[in-house]
Each structure stands twice: as structure tokens, then as C-alpha cells.
Amino acid sequence: MSSSDVRALEPQALWNCFADLNAVPRPSKREERVVAFVCAFAEKHGLQPQIDTAGNVIIRKPASADRQHRPAVIMQAHLDMVHKAGDGVKFDFDQQGIDMWVDGDWVRARGTTLGADNGLGAAAILAVLAAQDLSHPPIEALFTLDEEQGMGGALGLQPGLLTGKTMLNLDSEEDDTFTIGCAGGIDTHVTYEYQEITHASPGLVADIQISGLRGGHSGLQIHEGRANANKLMARILSACGEQVVALSTMRGGSARNAIPTQCTARVVVLNPAQFEECFQHEAAGIRDEFRLIEPGLSITRTTAQVAGDSVQTMSAEAQRAFVLAMQALVNGVYRMSPVVPGLVEASSNFSTIDLTHGKAVISSLQRSSVESSKVDVARSFRAPFELIGAQAHSGDPYPGWSPSAESPILDKMKRLYHDLFGHEVKIGACHAGLECGVIAMAYPDLDMISFGPNIHEAHSEKECASVSSAQKFWKLLTATLAEL
């Protein structure tokens, strides 16, 4: 089955908008093409798009005949997506649309992220804007930019542009849960400049590769104990030690908000016999520890093909300090919430590393639903690098979203959900960044709720969206609009 089969799914209005959206490249910070697509879509349907100073798109649609004189409702989703291909998959995201297929009840992409996060939410808004047969109040559709790389669009949203007092955020990923709170986040970056030494006629040069990990969303999956490829590589390098291997290059991870699935390091082997023993012992231990949760884990070492007759590596002193810092950095769950059972309060993700030519650059993302612990976990990530003289700083923070004790939209949608589906909806908060908290800085009086269809493995090439759940989501969305 191919992308054309996706267009045949019900509701066709939703899936056709999603297929059209997925044909347009839309990486964070380079959303020009998808903004042009959305604006053209609006004009095609007789609506006038507005682009604000942050690049966000606002499209207003008058109320249907039966909902005249009702207050406007804001429908919000972000246009960007995480562009990530699987290990060994060659895909030109700048030129190719997402290659989708239908697998029973699931829509998947071949070898890449699907873009259901947040493409299905954006597609739902487009479908509502295009519809002629839906009952709805005046709509203010807000399409934000750069959500996946720091909430840039939401942070730049200016007060006074929107008149609605109720906002439907369509960026949640469980169809039986209404989200009314989320974590805030902060990025931490590290730069470490180190002394290099030259190995003339270096003998054995090896490439160590870790791949095949599950990866996933660094907020939603952080509590599941999934392996982080960058941390595993630090562990192997530490086990071998600077007297056995000299580190030349190290690269891992692809996105700040994704658990890294692969990491590669090139080393000059100083003691081949001891390297083999240390490597095999540590790799065996890792495989055993993660055998249940990471069935695709691969840890290999191969002889590298070296251009020229010398190799540059870190000095032994610099390598020891840096590898120990990577071992010590905070990664994974930092603290569970004492208020909400089962909810992660604070976490950290060792997102990417690029080490070569005398400089190592690291990116990471810390999240917390409590502002003080967000600052603390970022400080803890920086600490081991500052101890070795690296430059470390945290920036681009965005706030969390605190649940409201009184929410008319929550009360209304709880009743609607029960009437439509015959059981109570769950109410929760998530350990991921939603734009609600950021938007509330400019519009503090908004009554907000977040909901969406079932989407699994977001931010990874295994991302998939449920067809039946999308139907449920659409039914709830349209029923809600008809009552607002």
C-alpha cells in the first residue's frame, strides 16, 4: 500500500489534508514552504491568511449559520515536524515528501518519521477550514512554527492578535486522555576544545558503532528506560580507557528532542588485545542489560579505512576528562512527581554530539513541570563539563503549563466524550512540551485543553498513527465545535 491508500481512509477530509501536508518539507526553522502551502490553502477556500511577526499563520473562518454570534474558538497546532530517518536510510527531506503506507489500523512512513506529530492536528484544522457542512463558531486557526526546536513560534506570538477565549490544542497523542498540563523545557549546549595529538602510521584504527535502538520522544518515552546511544558509547570508551584507545571522532543523535538511536566513534587502537577484551566484555554487558527493551541493539567494531598515513586524536588527558564527564552527565529521569503518580517531573536527554578536529559540541534538552527543578537539572547537566573547563550554557527556556482548577472547556468536553463513547475520559498532564504554557504568556486568560489521536513512537522512524483513533478524534473535534 502507498500514500494513495492513505487518501482513501475515513474521514477522507482529514487524511487528504494530512497527505497534502506531508508532501511539503517542513523541518523546524525552515517552514517557508509549508507556510506558503497553508496560505494558498486558505485562499483556495476563500479565507484570508495572516502571518504575524514570528511567522505564525492565523486564518479566520466565520461561524456556520447555526452558530452565529457565538464567541470565537482558537484551534492550534504546529506546522513543523521532526525530520529523522532510520539507520542506513537515505532520504532527502528537503526534496521528498513523506512516503506513507497503511498497515492495518496504522499509518506508517517508510524509514522516516511520519509527521503525525503534529501533522494530524494541523490537518484536522485545515479540514475544518475547508468544510462546508460542519457546525462551528467563528474559528481562529493558529498554525505555529518551530515547536520542535524551541517553541519559537509560540514564544514570538504577540498579544492582541487573537480574540478567542477558548483554545483547542490538537497536539496530544492518546485519544482517551485530555491533557491539561505539561512540562517546560530548557536547552543546554556544551563546547569543549581539546588538545589533539598525531598518530603517524597508527596501525589499527577502528570504528565503533552503536545502532538499532528504539529512540523515541525524549519526553514521552524518557521513563521507559530506553537506551541512549551517546551514553552507551561513553560507557564503552570509559571501559576501554585512554591507554587502550585514543578517540578521534564521535558523532551521535539527530535531534534535541529525540532519544538518540545511533552513535559512531573512530579510535586509534593502542593495545589491540586489551581493546578486544574490554570491548567484548562491555558490549556483552550492555546487550544483556537491554535485551528486553532494545531487541534491535547492535554494537560493532570494524577496521576503519584511513585516508593518509596519520590520524588526529584527543590527548590522553583530554580524553579521560571528557569521557568521564559524559559518563557523569544527567540523562533520563531526574525526579518523579510527588503530586501526580507515575508522572515524570524532571528529566534530561543527551541529544547529540559532534566531536572532531579539536572541538566537541553537545546538545541536550532538560524538561520539568516545576520551574526550580528545570533549572536544577540543567545545572546538573552542565556541572561535569564545567569541571573539566568546557563552555556550557543553558538557554531558550519555555514554561510549563499549570492545570487550571476551573475549566469550562474541560467540563464540556468531559461530558461530550462520555456521551459519544460511553466511558469517562482520563485527565492528565504530560512530560512533553506543549505550546499551551507559552501561548498563555501572551494570552493569560485562555481556557485551554489538548487532545488528539493515538500516535506512537513520535520523533522516531517507527512513528505511526491509528486510523480508528483518528476517526474517534475527528468525531470528538467536530462534536465539540458544534457545541461551542
pLDDT digits (tens, 9 = 90+) for 278-309: 999 999 999 999 999 999 999 999 999 887 78
| 114 and 217 belong to one structural domain | no
Locate cell 475544518: which residue? 128
- Dihedral sign, Cα of residue 222, residue 224, residue 230, residue 231: positive
Q: What confidence category does residue 404 fall into, taking pLDDT thresholds of 50, 70 and 90?
A: confident
DSSP-based three-state secondary structure for 458: coil
**Residue 437, all three cell numbers:** 504554557
234 and 267 in a common domain:
yes
Q: Nearest Cα to 128, choosing from 80, 71, 63? A: 63
Domain enclosing residue 318, as ranges: 186-398
- So what's the pLDDT on residue 2? 56
pLDDT of residue 403: 79
Whether residue 416 sits in one domain with residue 381: no
415 with 377, same domain? no
Are 163 and 223 contained in the same domain? no
CA-closest candidate to residue 148, choices 93, 97, 77: 77
pLDDT of 1 higher than 60 = no
Q: Interhelix angle for 467-483 vs 12-22, to 10°?
A: 110
pTM listed for this prediction: 0.82
Q: Tell me, yes or no, whether 49 and 9 share the same domain.
A: yes
What is the tens place of the pLDDT at every residue in 426-462?
998 899 889 999 999 999 999 999 999 999 999 999 9
The domain that contains 10 carries what CATH number? 3.40.630.10
The answer to whether residues 384 and 414 belong to one domain is no
CA–CA distances in Å: residue 186 to residues 257, 394, 402, 477: 11, 7, 17, 32
* Unique residue bearing C-alpha cell 590520524: 311
- Whether 200 and 214 share a structural domain: yes
Boundary (domain end) residue, out of 375, 398, 421: 398
Look at residue 341 in the predicted model and tell me its pLDDT: 84
Using one digit for the tens of pLDDT, what is the confidence trace for 99-117?
999 999 999 999 999 999 9
- Identity of the residue numbered 89: V
Q: Which residues are catalytic?
A: 80, 147
How do 166-169 and 100-103 pair as beta strands?
unpaired
Q: Are residues 160 and 248 in the same domain?
A: no
Percent of the chain's residues with pLDDT above 70: 99
Cβ neighbours of residue 127 under 8 Å, at least 6 residues apart?
Answer: 11, 13, 14, 16, 17, 474
Sequence-separated (6 or more) residues with CB below 8 Å from residue 318: 194, 195
User: Tell me, what CATH number does 280's domain have?
Assistant: 3.30.70.360
Q: Specify the pLDDT at position 318.
A: 98
Same domain assignment for residues 431 and 458: yes
* Paired sense of beta strands 359-368 and 344-356, if any: antiparallel
Q: Which of 101-110, 142-151, 291-300, 404-413 has the lowest mean pLDDT?
A: 404-413
Nearest to 169 by CA among 449, 482, 462, 405: 449
The domain boundary residue, chosen from 398, 431, 460: 398
The residue from 341, 363, 398 where one domain ends is 398
Residue 270 sits in the same domain as residue 362: yes
For the ranges 98-112, 237-251, 402-416, which has the lowest average pLDDT? 402-416
Percent of the chain with pLDDT over 90: 92
Together in a domain, 153 and 199: no
Query: pLDDT tens for residues 197-236?
Result: 999 988 899 999 999 999 999 999 999 999 999 999 999 9
Q: What's the total number of domains in the chain?
A: 2
For Cα atoms 185, 187, 189, give the angle at the middle one, nearest 5 degrees. Answer: 165
